[in-house]
Copies of this chain bind each other. A is one copy, B any other.
Amino acid sequence: MSSRATISDVARLAGVHKATASRALNPATSSRVKAATARRVQQAARQLGYTPNAVARSLRTSRSFTVGVLLPDLTNPLFPPIVRGIEEVLSVQGYTALLSNTDNDDDRERAQFQALVDRQVDGFIIATGLRRHPLLEGAFKAGVPVVLVNRGTDKPMFPLVSGDDATGVALAVDHLAELGHRAIAHLAGPPGLTTSLVRTRAFRQASQAHALPAELTPVVASAAYEEKAGARAAEELLDAHPEVTAIVAGNDLIALGALHALRARGLSCPQDVSVIGFNDMRFVDEFQPPLTSVRVPHQELGAEAARLLLEQLQSSPERSHSRRPIPKIVMLPVRLVVRGSTAAPRTRTS
């Protein structure tokens, strides 16, 4: 790496002091320098292929124009679109996203978080929220700028951007009820996450709204938002409640597990049991049968989270404790995408 040009090199070539060069090169301060000088400096910079050393700048300004992004599991197709939305907004403003996979591991998460803090990221967008989350409580007390995406915390500390989960679940139950289902189960996500809680509550409420008795609308929690865990939860459900004719899954991977569990015991979907997923992630339309699911605008979720964070960063660049905004919750609208995994129950409960 033939050593890079520094601002001193540029200044020397332009025949000015490096402070002047700095001013000329920074759009915010270039007006405070004679136009001719500015041009000369910029010309010199171009000639030398100068780009500022971001590390030195960060050290001096204690701003890095980077944002840490914590993701629970990049292999879940839910997250790549969120990342794309984040990057789309950040890059326009000159920010860079530093992505970090936690693999749902607390220790990894703590380590990654600290590594990013040590690198002086200006703030975080966090998709690994838990209802009780010591790391986030610490971040809150320390005044670290954070925006949560998709998953929140019990105690409202940071702004949250999520899909309108409650409405999504209601749409799912409505759809099934209209098809004539009365024994509808919910395969909930793991209990530690707000998404699970919100969706489960919404399920109970929607069931009541359709006057479905509690004994016909059981809820079984999956150990994780993953296919295997979903399959296990579905087994458990089918053992305990063979009467169900429809399943509202906590997310698409749980739904996929349910499809497998049904197939494994010779039940067919949607003829025997209808299944609805949540998120409408990529490839659910390729499933067998194509999965009816609640579409959440993930890219827009990411974009909105980035916007909120930038707002916060730009209003309090010094990370002052002053005027911490009341953490708002931004919910983006969802809609039900009906595909082949839902149909009228074989035998109407009369």
Interface residues of A (CB under 8 A from B): 1-2, 51-56, 58-59, 64, 66, 74-75, 77, 80-81, 83-84, 87, 91, 96, 98-101, 103, 108, 111-112, 114-120, 142-144, 256, 282-283, 286-288, 319, 321
Contacts and interface: CB of A to CB of B under 8 A. Distances in A.
Give the 3 A-B CB pairs with smallest separation, nearest first: A54-B118, A99-B99, A74-B80
Contacts of A112: 96
A306 to B, nearest CB: 14
Contacts of A52: 118
Label chain A's interface by main secondary structure: mixed
Given A1-B142, A84-B74, A55 B120 contact: yes
A150 B75 CA distance: 18
Contacts of A58: 55
A56 B59 contact: yes
A77 B100 CA distance: 17
A178 to B, nearest CB: 27
A55, A115, A142 interface centre (most CB from chain B within 10 Å): A55
10 contacts: A2-B142, A54-B120, A56-B59, A77-B77, A91-B111, A96-B100, A96-B115, A283-B286, A286-B288, A287-B288
A64 to B, nearest CB: 7
A230 to B, nearest CB: 13
A54 to B, nearest CB: 4
Given A51-B117, A55-B119, 5 more contacts: A66-B119, A75-B77, A84-B101, A98-B98, A286-B287
